[in-house]
Structure 1
Amino acid sequence: MKNISLLIIIIFLGVTSSFSQVLSNKNKQYTEADSLRGSLRPERSYDVLKYHLQVQIDPEERFISGFNTITFKTEEDLPVMQIDLFENMRIDSIIHGTEKLDYKRKFNAVFVEFEEALSAKATDSIQVFYSGNPIIAKNAPWDGGFVFKKDEEGNPWIAVAVQGTGASLWYPNKDHQSDEPEEALIEIAVPTGLTNVSNGRLLGTKYLENGYTRWSYKVSNPINNYDIVFNIANYVHFQDKYKDLDLDYYVLPYNLEKAKKQFAEVKPMMKCFYEKFGEYPFKEDGYKLVETPYLGMEHQSAVAYGNHYKMGYLGRDLSGTGIGLKWDFIIIHESGHEWFGNSITANDIADMWIHEGFTTYSEAVYVECRWGKDDALKYLEGLRKNIGNKAPIIGDYGVNSEGSGDMYPKGANLLNTLRSIYNNDELWWKTLKDYTLTFKHKTIDTKTVENFFNTPVETDLQPIFDQYLRYSAIPVLEFKKTGKRISYRWKTDVPNFNMPVDVFINKKEIRLTPSNTWKEFSKEVEDLDDIKVNEKEFYIETKFIK
């Protein structure tokens, strides 16, 4: 969710065109460090099966130390293995069996050298011992790093957020979204008296007799590297249930009553998302909301919440319609990521619209469940003022490059446009739920999404995906009057663009099938003013040539 805050800036700056230019990597000169992080090199030809992360966190020194045992299966013979850990963090040793391995470091990549190449299709593990002072975030979650704060009672309040920046900021791993461990054991030692909340189920605690207590959590499902977290504070805990899903809440003691009231929204949210997207995809690990010293993040089964118990986005409405003030943005958006981003994950961060476009759309889905389709359409239309249309949504592949921040509101409006093209809500909701079930716990790419949503309909959606995702501009529907005849066409970057669109002719709705060549209305339309495009349901630009 890290780019969402920039949408707030746009609202107050009058939707400046510099937004997507700031986020675009169009003119970036990529470095070897970008390729080491973003590409699947031969040294990364292994599949991570499990992480066992055991770390002690010293709040006073802002220092961490511990190990990660990486269990993996080789895909090819592997003489050298790349793992990732930020170069400011020290590697104390790397152990394979009983042997201490040599390694070389380049930027944030670590190349582990085996005495003999590991054979293809072999299951093995290495244990990486490390320590250091991790990077401190200046403005989490929009820059990655640790957050060391105090609560109102002077107790340590510590968390981490690393989406985009990379989980290798604080622990060694294969830092590429295409590879998720099938399970994880997360053991965090914190000063005794504090609570740690991590992903998955709490297995138990162990007093270490050095003033620290180790909190052990098990994640039983595949998990993104950047989702693996800790949350350390003087938490109080309360529980609830939705159907057979455990709902666990961890908040600061003085916010308990506010949290009980605010978090009541989780149940209607779950009711809506179960209906539209299918059951919660990490039921074995439970669902948690955890109060954090930063705004929020979609950390799997331990969703970070820092919206100060306000409706909207810190009391503001991203859509400018008032509809966004009916609900708590962070609860809905970050929980929506459990289906879109956590369960279904983009292979490459160039395709992060798969996370953010669908999750922003889930906000409108929630609005529709609670207050009806008209409000959902108004909300989506309101979000459009946050779109820059200055750079493509999809980034550059293989170099750790995200696309434009338009992936949030433009991605959501693309999905709403597809729904309108389907012109069959029963089919649309079935397809959307089938999508979440088909790719549950999988990593995918944009082409997979395009093929899936293209299959149920006769209209070829590929040119539509191309225009909205791979070009900066949206389709322009042009009308012109020549004599007594009125013609229409699409003006697009993509050739052979034949997207249907609904228009009102003298207040009667009809479906047009424009192409890139001019077509005339079959019946006489007296004036261009008699035409009104259904722009609530289709995110396009309309131009009348007089």
Structure 2
Amino acid sequence: MYKFVFFCIFVCNILYAQNNFSQQDTLRGSITPERAWWDVINYTLDIHVFPKTKSIKGSNTITYNVLKPHQKLQIELQPPLVIDSIIQNKQKLSHYKIGFSYFINLIKKQKVNTSEKITIYYHGKPKEAIKAPWDGGIVWSKDQNGNDFIATANQSIGSSIWWPCKDHPADEAENMQITVTCPDPLMDVSNGRKIKTKKNKDNTTSYTWKVINPINNYGVSLNIANYDHFSETYKGEKGNLDCNYYVISTNLKKAKEHFKDVPKMLKAFEYWFGPYPFYEDGYKLVETPYLGMEHQSCVAYGNNYLKGYLGYPMGTSEWGKKFDFIIIHESGHEWFANNITCKDVADLWIHEAFTSYSEALFVDYHYGIKAGNEYAQGQRALVKNDRPIIGTYNVHHEGSSDMYPKGSLMLHTLRQIINNDKKWRNILRGLNNEFHHQTVTGNQVIEYINKKVKMDLTSFFKQYLSTTKIPTLLVEKRSNYIYYAWENVVDDFNIPIKIYLDNKEKWIYPKEKEWKKISGKYRQFKVDKNFYIMVKEI
């Protein structure tokens, strides 16, 4: 029923058990000297796809700015793909590699504040994804009509599994062009807007797509199938938004009905988060042979045209059956992951906590605050508290998959602490405005929230992100008093809590190792269920 969450936990536990980071982990996960000196401006990716042999060949031209003098440039390309040649200014460049990190020796002197280009030619059979999207690579599949059905999914494993790039989230291309050539009658759908279709003499067609907004590497995708297409225009906060849908032909009729969740999603998320971040590139929902992914302006969809998560609610709340989980969750990432992107995957909670909470906000917007609260509360059943949500920095190491449900519950608790939905909405919209099209650290997000709430919530975030401890409110009833204090909390944890005494609302301000008391005889003491804490009566 919840295999999505359980599989993530299983994979993360394996990674954590190993947890002996290698030289390759550091090269992949840190800003090395060979990365620090240059800034990606544009990728121009040109790929030929050969379904019969499950192979590709192509090139990537990288346009970059020189930030400081250096003569060695680092990129990544994962085996079994191989580099054929590297060219700059018509000169072939030498290189060496450590693992799948390539170090290119530049001949031309790299001058600060100049723009340069380098082209990498490569080929091979890229890693085949076994269980996408969790196990990354290229999916080589067939649709129900027996036609080739091909797509990429590479969030954790990295984009360098199928194209050479600066494979680190801190540096996004400011724009990108993607050309994919595939056999007829197949077509490719990639990010941004299609600007060119070229019929070739060898019974192939080349499709060129242009992205004019900054894009993270893992948000880049190719999707190849015998697609049917339909579209609509959503009248949003920034005007008309083009919404395009690409589906397997036999699914066209049900897609036109099922994808009505898209305008509902846009209405809710533009209300909570602000304008859709990529009006210029449009919005696409593209059917894929795997469950889904948040590819920027090209959201991957494979939820079998069912409500919920493959027909089941994600969590224990029945509200989860009211919408298609993949459409809502993966589209929510357009704001948190693609608009605001973490600089290091150790802070992937920025993507997943906010987006998991977006599900509750979607329910809240369309069905009311009580329904949204019930949806959020239903995510408790998914929390494992196996290890911290924040991973290890500079080694490409993600934290616990609790970044989804526990991260959502943390934000739902924060909303209660703020106790002002206008302010809460302004914070969510403000984040998307303040960090529009930027890569950020977790600390930047926390500092922004602290400033807007006018509270120091550093210990609050530390509690939920850096430990597996659930704050526990100790409660003791003695004669005409109720005593309370925090247990199982980090230093300086001091959030207020809403309680009910005989159904009358009251706020309390517990502290650790310091008993406070409420005077009076009360038959009932309850903590508001929207706070993600434990209560222990002693």
**TM-score, shorter chain, exceeding 0.5:** yes
Q: For residues 10 and 61 of structure 2, what CA distance do their matches in structure 1 show?
A: 41
Q: TM-score, normalised by structure 2?
A: 0.96
Q: For residues 417 and 65 of structure 2, what CA distance do their matches in structure 1 show?
A: 44
**Mapped pair 1:28 → 2:19:** yes
The equivalent of 2:474 in structure 1 is 478
Amino acid at match of 2:129: A
The equivalent of 2:526 in structure 1 is 532
Aligned with 2:93 (options 91, 94, 101): 101
Q: TM-score, normalised by structure 1?
A: 0.95
Aligned with 2:144 (options 133, 147, 152): 152
* CA distances 1:425-450 after superposition (whole Å, capped 9, x unpaired): 11111111111111110000110110
The equivalent of 2:537 in structure 1 is 544
- Match of 2:311, SS? coil
**Mapped pair 1:69 → 2:67:** no
The equivalent of 1:369 in structure 2 is 365
Aligned with 1:238 (options 216, 230, 245): 230
Residues 23 and 389 of structure 1, relative CA distance in 2, 3 Å threshold: farther
Aligned with 2:345 (options 349, 352, 377): 349
The equivalent of 1:309 in structure 2 is 305
Please say if residues 20 and 388 of structure 1, whose CA atoms lie closer than 8 Å, have aligned partners that are also in contact: no
Aligned with 1:193 (options 173, 181, 185): 185
The equivalent of 1:15 in structure 2 is none
* Deviating more after overlay: 479-488 vs 130-139: 479-488
State percent identity of aligned pairs.
44
Q: For residues 391 and 12 of structure 2, what CA distance do their matches in structure 1 show?
A: 13
**Mapped pair 1:210 → 2:208:** no
* CA distances 1:64-104 after superposition (whole Å, capped 9, x unpaired): 00100001112221211000001321111000111100000
Q: For residues 420 and 479 of structure 2, what CA distance do their matches in structure 1 show?
A: 37
* Deviating more after overlay: 35-44 vs 20-29: 20-29
- Match of 2:107, SS? strand
Amino acid at match of 1:42: P
* CA distances 1:173-231 after superposition (whole Å, capped 9, x unpaired): 00000011000000000002111100000001112212211000000001110111111
* CA distances 1:291-328 after superposition (whole Å, capped 9, x unpaired): 10001000011100001100000001111221101100
- 1:521 is displaced (CA, Å) by 2.2
- 1:150 is displaced (CA, Å) by 1.2
The equivalent of 1:385 in structure 2 is 381
Residues 21 and 142 of structure 1, relative CA distance in 2, 3 Å threshold: closer
Q: For residues 535 and 278 of structure 2, what CA distance do their matches in structure 1 show?
A: 43
Aligned with 1:465 (options 461, 464, 468): 461
**Mapped pair 1:219 → 2:215:** no
The equivalent of 2:35 in structure 1 is 44
The equivalent of 1:124 in structure 2 is 116
- 1:481 is displaced (CA, Å) by 3.5
**Mapped pair 1:324 → 2:315:** no
Aligned positions of 1:414-493 closer than 5 A: 414-482=410-478, 484-493=480-489
Residues 232 and 20 of structure 1, relative CA distance in 2, 3 Å threshold: closer
Amino acid at match of 1:34: D
Q: For residues 68 and 468 of structure 2, what CA distance do their matches in structure 1 show?
A: 39
Q: Name stretches of at least 5 consecutive residues in structure 1 with no aligned partner.
A: 11-17
- Match of 2:71, SS? strand
* Deviating more after overlay: 271-280 vs 168-177: 271-280
- 1:27 is displaced (CA, Å) by 5.9
The equivalent of 2:5 in structure 1 is 7
- 1:382 is displaced (CA, Å) by 0.8
The equivalent of 1:168 in structure 2 is 160
Please say if residues 471 and 493 of structure 1, whose CA atoms lie closer than 8 Å, have aligned partners that are also in contact: no
Residues 277 and 21 of structure 1, relative CA distance in 2, 3 Å threshold: closer
Q: For residues 92 and 338 of structure 1, what CA distance do their matches in structure 2 show?
A: 35
Aligned with 2:499 (options 465, 479, 503): 503
Q: For residues 110 and 20 of structure 1, what CA distance do their matches in structure 2 show?
A: 27
Please say if residues 24 and 404 of structure 1, whose CA atoms lie closer than 8 Å, have aligned partners that are also in contact: no
Please say if residues 305 and 330 of structure 1, whose CA atoms lie closer than 8 Å, have aligned partners that are also in contact: yes
- Match of 1:242, SS? strand
Q: For residues 243 and 258 of structure 2, what CA distance do their matches in structure 1 show?
A: 14
Q: For residues 436 and 366 of structure 2, what CA distance do their matches in structure 1 show?
A: 25
Please say if residues 347 and 445 of structure 1, whose CA atoms lie closer than 8 Å, have aligned partners that are also in contact: yes
Please say if residues 185 and 216 of structure 1, whose CA atoms lie closer than 8 Å, have aligned partners that are also in contact: yes
The equivalent of 2:292 in structure 1 is 296
* CA distances 1:466-514 after superposition (whole Å, capped 9, x unpaired): 1011111121111124555331111134112111000111111100011
The equivalent of 2:107 in structure 1 is 115
**Mapped pair 1:272 → 2:290:** no
- Match of 2:356, SS? helix
- 1:20 is displaced (CA, Å) by 9.0
Greater relative CO, 1 or 2 (CA 8 Å, sep 6+): 1
Q: For residues 357 and 44 of structure 1, what CA distance do their matches in structure 2 show?
A: 29
Please say if residues 472 and 489 of structure 2, whose CA atoms lie closer than 8 Å, have aligned partners that are also in contact: no
Please say if residues 12 and 399 of structure 2, whose CA atoms lie closer than 8 Å, have aligned partners that are also in contact: no
* CA distances 1:3-31 after superposition (whole Å, capped 9, x unpaired): x8432669xxxxxxx76972663761100
Q: For residues 372 and 111 of structure 1, what CA distance do their matches in structure 2 show?
A: 55
Residues 26 and 505 of structure 1, relative CA distance in 2, 3 Å threshold: farther
The equivalent of 1:140 in structure 2 is 132
Q: For residues 283 and 99 of structure 1, what CA distance do their matches in structure 2 show?
A: 39
Residues 31 and 9 of structure 1, relative CA distance in 2, 3 Å threshold: closer
Q: For residues 480 and 75 of structure 1, what CA distance do their matches in structure 2 show?
A: 61
Q: For residues 181 and 323 of structure 2, what CA distance do their matches in structure 1 show?
A: 36
- 1:117 is displaced (CA, Å) by 4.4
Aligned with 2:174 (options 179, 182, 185): 182
Q: For residues 426 and 538 of structure 1, what CA distance do their matches in structure 2 show?
A: 19
Residues 180 and 458 of structure 1, relative CA distance in 2, 3 Å threshold: closer
Residues 97 and 354 of structure 1, relative CA distance in 2, 3 Å threshold: same
Aligned-residue RMSD, C-alpha = 1.6
Q: Name stretches of at least 5 consecutive residues in structure 2 with no aligned partner.
A: none
Aligned positions of 1:54-93 closer than 5 A: 54-93=46-85
- 1:518 is displaced (CA, Å) by 2.5
* Deviating more after overlay: 38-47 vs 453-462: 453-462
